[in-house]
Amino acid sequence: MITEILSKKKKIGLLLDPDNAQEESLINILKIAEQYKADFIFAGGSITFNNIDILIDLIKRECSIPVVLFPGNLLQLSHKADAILLLSLISGRNPELLIGNHVIAAPYLKDVRSKVLPVGYILISCGSKTSVEYISQTEAIPSDKKDIVVATAMAGEMLGLKMIYLEAGSGASGNVPLDIIRSVKENITIPIAVGGGIKTKEQIRDIYNAGADLLIIGNGCEKRPELLIDACEIRDGYV
């Protein structure tokens, strides 16, 4: 499973927040994901009102796509996912999100360590302040500071992280700038995931062309499920 995530083949991940959707709408989007062969279902969010295991159980009941845990906090840890992203918010300087939470989570994850993937999470300012910035108590890297983003990604790889996730943040007015994606791609050898602010098929195509290996869409699909179809069809054009 980890090998699949880290492959350089273009991939699509659908991010589902346990707090944001009703069961009927979740089942509908999962049917589309299954039909068009989305690569992964990511489960997680910034705040926890609902048990993450309930969402994972629903996903596994309705489709056969691997589930990747994208924990927004320690209350979203679960052994039920097929893979678990151990996120380090390397764009910020909140020690809890760099190492503190990981220390607390480690004993819980020790028996499923083969599922754990260490990921460098880089938040980039792409418009209004996002939920991730507020909850994490960190500032995103300004989108015009490309050199800082690139250096941060390089440092993440040198620290041993296995993937870099460039994130505009949930509710962002725009996606991660293409020149940032290109520059990061030119300077690291590990896979790049990109998410946040993706609303159109043109954005999807441009982000892939800029060098993203894994594209993660969430809010855009909840509002317009056809976006997931567009994403999968564009991905298939790279095969």
**What is the C-alpha separation between 87 and 99, in angstroms, rounded?**
10
**What is the C-alpha separation between 66 and 68, in angstroms, rounded?**
7
Instruction: Copy the structure tokens of residue 20.
Output: 């944001």
**What is the C-alpha separation between 156 and 54, in angstroms, rounded?**
33
Give tens-digit pLDDT for 116-174.
Answer: 999 999 999 976 777 788 788 889 999 999 999 999 999 999 999 999 999 997 666 78
Range of the domain at 163: 2-236
Total tally of structural domains belonging to the chain: 1
**What is the C-alpha separation between 127 and 197, in angstroms, rounded?**
9
* 5 contacts: CB under 8 Å, gap ≥ 6: 11, 40, 68, 83, 117, 163, 191, 214
**What is the C-alpha separation between 149 and 178, in angstroms, rounded?**
12
Q: Is the pLDDT at 1 greater than 90, yes or no?
A: no
Q: What is the CATH number of the domain that holds 54?
A: 3.20.20.390
Give tens-digit pLDDT for 79-131.
Answer: 999 999 999 999 999 999 999 999 999 999 999 999 999 999 999 997 677 77
pTM: 0.95
Task: Identify the pLDDT of residue 51.
Answer: 85
Q: Which residues pair with 164 in a beta bridge?
A: 120, 192
Mean pLDDT of 204-215: 97
In this prediction, what percent of the chain has a pLDDT beyond 90?
Answer: 75
